[in-house]
Structure 1
Amino acid sequence: MTAELTRGQNHPLPRARLEIRVSAGTPVVAGATLGDENGTVHGVEQVAHPGSPTLPGLEVSRQAAADHRLAVDLDAVPDAVHRVSVLLALPVGGAGPVRFGAVAAPFVSVTGLDGDEVASYTITGLDAESAVVALELYRRQDTWKVRAVGQGYAGGLPELLTDQNLPQAHQLAGRIQEAVASGLARSVPAPPARAADGDRARPAATPAHGPDHGTAPQAGSGPVAPASPYDAQGAPAPAPQPPGAPGQHGTQQPCPDGPPDPAHAGRPSTPAAGGPIDYSHPRRQNAAPPPPPPTAPPAEPGQPARPVAGDATGWSMEERLYNQVWGMFEDLARTAAAYRSAVDFADSRMEKELDQALSDPRNRIGGQGDAAREAARARHGQLVSQAREVLDRDVAQLVAEAGVVEPALPAAFARWDNPVWHAYRVPMEIPMALRLGDLHLPEADGIRVPMLMRLPLERGLWIDSGRSTSTDGSSADSHEMRRLGLEAAVAHAARLLAVYPAGEFTVHVIDPAGSGTQALAPLVRSGVLAAPPAHGAAGAADVLARLTQRVDLVQMALRAGAPDALPPGLDTSQQLLIVNEFPHGFDDRAVNQLRYLADEGPAVGVHLMIVADREESAGYGPLLDPLWRSLLRLTPVADDHLADPWVGHAWTYEPSLVPPGSQVLQQVLAQVASARRPWGR
């Protein structure tokens, strides 16, 4: 059975000798590169193109054409080659189109020599790009797979080849286009339409004006690093890959074989002064390229380098910014750990020196003992002062970096007060992650690091509405905390709705006693909810029954290998259930259904967000403990309950809330509701 891939998805290749067929509807140049395990192409001799069409195990067309057939023999590919990237580019200087957004979406397929199709991919979502990496054949443990890439480049072949770390990228791109223009690779017109009984026709597609929505569950299967470094109860989560070296941002590299958890069409670019920032991404699974050269002016001699937004590794600006935020988090964790360790050492050394001074009887007479104690305290103060100086220097650098990174963040990563929300438009694909709040440490209160959660969510959220004393010393009673908890839940739900494409995220609400009417008003008035909030036991039972049935149906379809056999009319979008004032108004059956949704739902696109006070549920005994442990605990007020997996710091979490008096939430939800209406929801 043919696998119809979407961006980021992969499929095993059952044989070594294959054909890659391209149908573009307009003449294009086809080529391929041979890369190592990091995707690096080490020279022009590893690029097959019309002027030099053959490489070991690979042959491409000698001409620009609307249809291509590329021959591949994976057994003949050199052992050092781990990736074969298939490239498409529009000819330069001709009368044809200059961007893929002006033509129908190219269609590529991988077939056997007998013509049986193994996998196919329609490259939608291209606009200003004139070159694209269409597919990637990659080797994993002596087996080969194909991945749909669809990464476009507005800079054409030079930018594409540069992104593959080819030093002679611009010269080679020029030779390829010269070969096309000189007639060595003559351009031929598009062929007539294929007969119905002929080769598979490329599906019709209209020109797109933005990246398409890849359905690979980004934070779904096979992550290497956890979707969040924080445990719901403040305990460290399973350790991710080791962070980068000190002073250099580490990256959470995605699992090459699976849909991305940390994972990622678009043009990788560094924001220039006054220039636009492209946040689209191809959901690449393989190792990212090195960071681009900084665009900031050089620092003064002896001064630290000036920070640049997007200076981490990544295939796109969004991925670079994501990795840069992670790098800031790791750098702050390390520098705070070093400071605490230095202070602990100074304390220990001073205690040892004081003990030694007091243990010597000679120091007990006269002023010798006092002098020894003063000397020990002076050395302690010097060590602490030196450690603080290093900490302040590192924090100052991070503050400067945050100052350039924060304004460059896309909406999904940005605070509600960031101007990017005022230019909000409903996206065409989901982002890599979502900002749930900010994190900071007591030693560095001047720096706030965004807390980014990978998408789709891998675990539900628990908004703790229990009594709390904020880190600023203020306290809130139970009634106020319940209101704040539901308002925080609404803000998080609005963000999720805003970052998903139209119709691909659905929100349900259970409010048994109707106590959340005021806080839920933005969702209700805008019309973004699937239905009005469910009240009473009967309303809660109806919503839970429908969602548990959806989980059962999708699981059965996946286990049977028939994901297309779902009942007509089943809503296949991601589902979020907001539950207010749990567990009041819920019987044992409802509690078991919620536990089932928490455990089984995320894998099939059903997620929970529960607003509850854990202490109030103590009457249920240990029944609810597994539910609480499966959810990520967040608070509606600043609280230091989160821990990182590297050094075990207790981080202060501050929720991402809408500024008082701001209308940004209503404006965003109005656009979401308007975009959903054509879907008939």
Structure 2
Amino acid sequence: MTAELVRGQNHPLPGARLEIRISAGKPIVAGAVLSDAQGRTPGPAWVAHPGTPALPGLEVSQQVAADHRLAVDLAALPEDAHRLSVLLALPTGTGGPARFGALPAPYVAVTAPDGSEIANYTVTGLDSESAVVVLELYRRQDAWKVRAVGQGYAGGLAALFADLLAGRDAAEARRLADEVADAVTRGLSRSVAPPRVTSDGSAAQGGRPATQPGRPTPSQEPADTTGDTGTGSPRPLPDAGGGPVDYTHPARRRTAPPPPPPSAPPAPPGRPAAPVAGDATGWSMEERLYNQVWGMFEDLARTAAAYRSAVDFADQRRERELDAALADPRARLGGQGEAAREAARARYADLVEQARAVLDRDLAQLRAESEVVEPALPPAFARWDSPVWQDFRVPMEMPMALRLGDLHLPECGDVRIPMLVRLPLERGMWIDSGRAPGGVGMLVDPEEVRRLALDTAVTHAARLLAAYPAGEFAVHVIDPAGSGAEAFAPLVEAGVLAAPPGAGPAAVAQVLGALTQRVDLLQMAFRGGAPDALPPDLDTAEQLLVVNDFPHGFDDRAVTQLRYLADEGPAVGVHLMLVADREDAAGYGPLLDPLWRALLRLTPVPDDHLADPWVGHAWTYEPPGAPLGSRVLAQVLERVATARREWNR
């Protein structure tokens, strides 16, 4: 049973290995200070912060973020350490709030290795403080306990360190506070989060969004209905380990529900209430908008299903009535039979008209909702023609999700629903450069489809680069024959690639070998519980590999490495994007089938290859595209490159 602590209250800790989870609603700094039996901290070497994140038995977050997870092994702490104080601070010079009183009350939870909460504490009563000690883990007679502290400091980290570093001069406390501020400002510490382990021992990422009242929880993104299963029926999307994707939202503030969504203004009598952007549950506007988009997707799926069901019922009823009218031979040629047939057709038309009226009413509501939601979407959720891109700034933290295009149904006219997928990506992407049988691609020249596929891949890569903080996402390109040089030019000219596009067998082998080795090292480090053993020169940013014209130019070894990256890479931050024609690769036999099944198929032209997991509609996917003549893509890449250069200084 979870202990809900108040200030000054303590609670025993049942084990040595713990995780401290922090949620603050806005980006903050997290750290920890060790003290001896007399409560003294010998010096800065006993302080863990973003610039020095790891101490024996203790690892703190290396980023400024709204949510933190601190790993603690009490048995591995130095023998002289009898107290561990967890601290939070507001970053300086970022334009954010200058005091905790302007933020939601920070929430801190101490959890066991399996994720179950041992104790939690909501830090209330803060006002002008910009740094606070939230918890203490302390040892008494060889037993450890946790105490809720909530001691704030209006003087920030300098005042906090001056208090904790008893016996040291104030100048040393200021130097330590400046060191933390410098690490935050320069972004010196970027880390790869270890894969979250589920109860069955498999790696998992992502989460299920909070539900909106009246709307079911979205359990899956649209499923690919290409011929991977041989049945054409919808199937759950596999994650890196081959199981269903888990979209359970990471638990935050479990002891209380999120604040209610904003209420719509009262509607005139007899008219529906006006829609409101963010009209869904969630702890932030981003989360509310994400949940609202999911709700719109489900609403459209179900209203279309109701319309199709009504039309099917009307059709079956008409057929039964016509059969009954024709069953009597005497009425086949007389006026009575013709009247019965006309009545059956009239009832059919009336039922269809009623169903269409209901559909049009629901579509009007969804259209009105889309008109207020679309302009409110943040850059990661917005279309390329949205005005938010004109004021785009590289974010300080990764968004919840990324827009990969739009979805619509044939009966629903101009109603489009953003296709959002959670970040970090749980599976790679396959950009189909072939022509889908019966799709719009059949009307497009094959060479044009290949060109559009490369443009789509560049667009998706640019969106991913724009979604991550500077230095936390790297893009590699393999172009064996150099056929994609023109398409990749925006990425090359902006200087946002980790290295020039790899061409030729030697470059292919080098890039694949380096990424495969990275996955191996990270897996061994995390599974062995030794992340500190990683090489100091290892690039800790998440990686995206874009592969053009696959499988041409790839030998068996390279194909095996790509399959390995597709299966194991997402759990440790390595993602794959293939630009390939599935039909063209059919000559390789079943060797590539596991690779195709591990990736999410996206098309460069509209195509109805996705199905929702509720009623199995074939949704038409429309890829994202910048307006003709617009420089928005180039401008975004320039700002990403500028932020990266500043981060590398």
TM-score bracket for the superposition, by shorter chain length: 0.7 to 0.9
Aligned residue in 2 for 1:292: 261
Where in structure 2 are the equivalents of 1:51-70 lying within 5 Å? Answer: 58-61=5-8, 70=9
The 3-state SS of whatever aligns with 1:439 is strand
Deviation at 1:568, TM superposition (A): 1.4
1:509 and 2:495 correspond: no
652 and 566 in structure 1: CA distance in 2 versus 1, 3 angstrom threshold: same
- CA distance in structure 1 between the partners assigned to 2:391 and 2:353 by the alignment: 46
Instruction: Tell me the amino acid that sits aligned with residue 194 of structure 1.
Output: L
- CA distance in structure 2 between the partners assigned to 1:152 and 1:392 by the alignment: 51
1:330 and 2:287 correspond: no
Aligned residue in 1 for 2:10: 71
Residues 127 and 209 of structure 1 are in contact (CA less than 8 Å); yes or no, is this contact kept in structure 2? no
Deviation at 1:565, TM superposition (A): 1.1
189 and 564 in structure 1: CA distance in 2 versus 1, 3 angstrom threshold: closer
- CA distance in structure 1 between the partners assigned to 2:83 and 2:592 by the alignment: 49
Aligned residue in 2 for 1:206: 181
Aligned residue in 2 for 1:238: 236
Instruction: Tell me the amino acid that sits aligned with residue 10 of structure 2.
Output: A
CA deviations over 1:608-654 (Å, ceiling 9, x no partner): 00000011112211111111111000000111111111100000000
1:263 and 2:249 correspond: yes
Residues 598 and 607 of structure 1 are in contact (CA less than 8 Å); yes or no, is this contact kept in structure 2? yes
CA deviations over 1:500-556 (Å, ceiling 9, x no partner): 000000000000111111110100000000000000111111100000000011111
User: In structure 1, which of residues 380, 387, 397 is the aligned counterpart of residue 355 of structure 2?
Assistant: 387
Aligned residue in 2 for 1:649: 617
User: In structure 1, which of residues 575, 580, 584 is the aligned counterpart of residue 552 of structure 2?
Assistant: 584
1:452 and 2:423 correspond: no
1:658 and 2:626 correspond: yes
349 and 431 in structure 1: CA distance in 2 versus 1, 3 angstrom threshold: same
Instruction: Tell me the amino acid that sits aligned with residue 262 of structure 2.
Output: P
The 3-state SS of whatever aligns with 1:206 is helix
Residues 108 and 122 of structure 1 are in contact (CA less than 8 Å); yes or no, is this contact kept in structure 2? no
Question: Taking structure 2 as the reference length, what is the TM-score of the superposition?
Answer: 0.73
Where does structure 1 lack aligned partners over 5 or more consecutive residues? 1-12, 18-33, 35-57, 62-69, 76-82, 90-103, 157-179, 181-187, 241-258, 265-281
Aligned residue in 1 for 2:222: 229
Where in structure 2 are the equivalents of 1:392-411 lying within 5 Å? Answer: 392-411=360-379
Where in structure 2 are the equivalents of 1:110-125 lying within 5 Å? Answer: 116=82, 120=86, 122-123=88-89
- CA distance in structure 1 between the partners assigned to 2:343 and 2:186 by the alignment: 68
Where in structure 2 are the equivalents of 1:190-201 lying within 5 Å? Answer: 192-195=163-166
Residues 220 and 261 of structure 1 are in contact (CA less than 8 Å); yes or no, is this contact kept in structure 2? no
Deviation at 1:479, TM superposition (A): 1.5
Deviation at 1:380, TM superposition (A): 0.7
556 and 191 in structure 1: CA distance in 2 versus 1, 3 angstrom threshold: closer
- CA distance in structure 1 between the partners assigned to 2:530 and 2:186 by the alignment: 30
Residues 232 and 633 of structure 1 are in contact (CA less than 8 Å); yes or no, is this contact kept in structure 2? no
- CA distance in structure 1 between the partners assigned to 2:375 and 2:495 by the alignment: 30
The 3-state SS of whatever aligns with 1:402 is helix
Aligned residue in 1 for 2:212: none
The 3-state SS of whatever aligns with 2:221 is coil
1:566 and 2:547 correspond: no
Instruction: Tell me the amino acid that sits aligned with residue 375 of structure 1.
Output: A
In the alignment of these two chains, the number of paired residues is 533
The 3-state SS of whatever aligns with 1:435 is strand
645 and 108 in structure 1: CA distance in 2 versus 1, 3 angstrom threshold: closer
1:544 and 2:515 correspond: no
585 and 153 in structure 1: CA distance in 2 versus 1, 3 angstrom threshold: farther
Aligned residue in 2 for 1:136: 109
Aligned residue in 1 for 2:97: 127
Instruction: Tell me the amino acid that sits aligned with residue 659 of structure 1.
Output: P
Aligned residue in 2 for 1:173: none
- CA distance in structure 1 between the partners assigned to 2:644 and 2:412 by the alignment: 43
The 3-state SS of whatever aligns with 1:314 is coil
Deviation at 1:353, TM superposition (A): 0.9
Measured on the aligned residues, the alpha-carbon RMSD in Å equals: 4.3
Residues 265 and 273 of structure 2 are in contact (CA less than 8 Å); yes or no, is this contact kept in structure 1? no
Residues 433 and 579 of structure 2 are in contact (CA less than 8 Å); yes or no, is this contact kept in structure 1? yes
The 3-state SS of whatever aligns with 1:642 is strand
User: In structure 1, which of residues 528, 543, 564 is the aligned counterpart of residue 496 of structure 2?
Assistant: 528
Where in structure 2 are the equivalents of 1:39-438 lying within 5 Å? Answer: 58-61=5-8, 70-72=9-11, 116=82, 120=86, 122-123=88-89, 127-128=97-98, 129-130=100-101, 131=103, 132-137=105-110, 143-145=116-118, 192-195=163-166, 205-206=180-181, 220-221=204-205, 223=207, 228-231=221-224, 233=226, 235-238=233-236, 261-263=247-249, 289=258, 291-294=260-263, 296-438=264-406
- CA distance in structure 2 between the partners assigned to 1:623 and 1:406 by the alignment: 42
Aligned residue in 1 for 2:49: none
213 and 380 in structure 1: CA distance in 2 versus 1, 3 angstrom threshold: farther
Question: Taking structure 1 as the reference length, what is the TM-score of the superposition?
Answer: 0.69
Aligned residue in 1 for 2:200: none
The 3-state SS of whatever aligns with 1:374 is helix
Percent sequence identity over matched residues? Answer: 61
CA deviations over 1:186-244 (Å, ceiling 9, x no partner): xx9996451489xxx9976339799999976799437456563322637434399xxxx
458 and 105 in structure 1: CA distance in 2 versus 1, 3 angstrom threshold: closer
374 and 561 in structure 1: CA distance in 2 versus 1, 3 angstrom threshold: same
Residues 278 and 288 of structure 2 are in contact (CA less than 8 Å); yes or no, is this contact kept in structure 1? yes
Judge which range, 498-507 or 477-486, deviates more.
477-486
Judge which range, 144-153 or 389-398, deviates more.
144-153
Deviation at 1:341, TM superposition (A): 0.3
86 and 575 in structure 1: CA distance in 2 versus 1, 3 angstrom threshold: closer
CA deviations over 1:422-456 (Å, ceiling 9, x no partner): 00001000000000000000010210000001100
- CA distance in structure 1 between the partners assigned to 2:115 and 2:527 by the alignment: 27
CA deviations over 1:66-93 (Å, ceiling 9, x no partner): xxxx523689xxxxxxx9999999xxxx
CA deviations over 1:30-83 (Å, ceiling 9, x no partner): xxxx5xxxxxxxxxxxxxxxxxxxxxxx4525xxxxxxxx523689xxxxxxx9
- CA distance in structure 1 between the partners assigned to 2:126 and 2:186 by the alignment: 13
333 and 139 in structure 1: CA distance in 2 versus 1, 3 angstrom threshold: farther
The 3-state SS of whatever aligns with 1:665 is helix
Residues 220 and 260 of structure 1 are in contact (CA less than 8 Å); yes or no, is this contact kept in structure 2? yes
461 and 679 in structure 1: CA distance in 2 versus 1, 3 angstrom threshold: same
419 and 315 in structure 1: CA distance in 2 versus 1, 3 angstrom threshold: same
640 and 541 in structure 1: CA distance in 2 versus 1, 3 angstrom threshold: same
230 and 143 in structure 1: CA distance in 2 versus 1, 3 angstrom threshold: closer
Deviation at 1:498, TM superposition (A): 0.3
- CA distance in structure 1 between the partners assigned to 2:404 and 2:495 by the alignment: 23
- CA distance in structure 2 between the partners assigned to 1:589 and 1:424 by the alignment: 41
Residues 220 and 237 of structure 2 are in contact (CA less than 8 Å); yes or no, is this contact kept in structure 1? no
283 and 476 in structure 1: CA distance in 2 versus 1, 3 angstrom threshold: farther
315 and 237 in structure 1: CA distance in 2 versus 1, 3 angstrom threshold: farther
- CA distance in structure 1 between the partners assigned to 2:580 and 2:120 by the alignment: 42
The 3-state SS of whatever aligns with 2:604 is coil
Where in structure 2 are the equivalents of 1:604-615 lying within 5 Å? Answer: 604-615=572-583
634 and 383 in structure 1: CA distance in 2 versus 1, 3 angstrom threshold: same
Aligned residue in 2 for 1:250: none
308 and 610 in structure 1: CA distance in 2 versus 1, 3 angstrom threshold: same
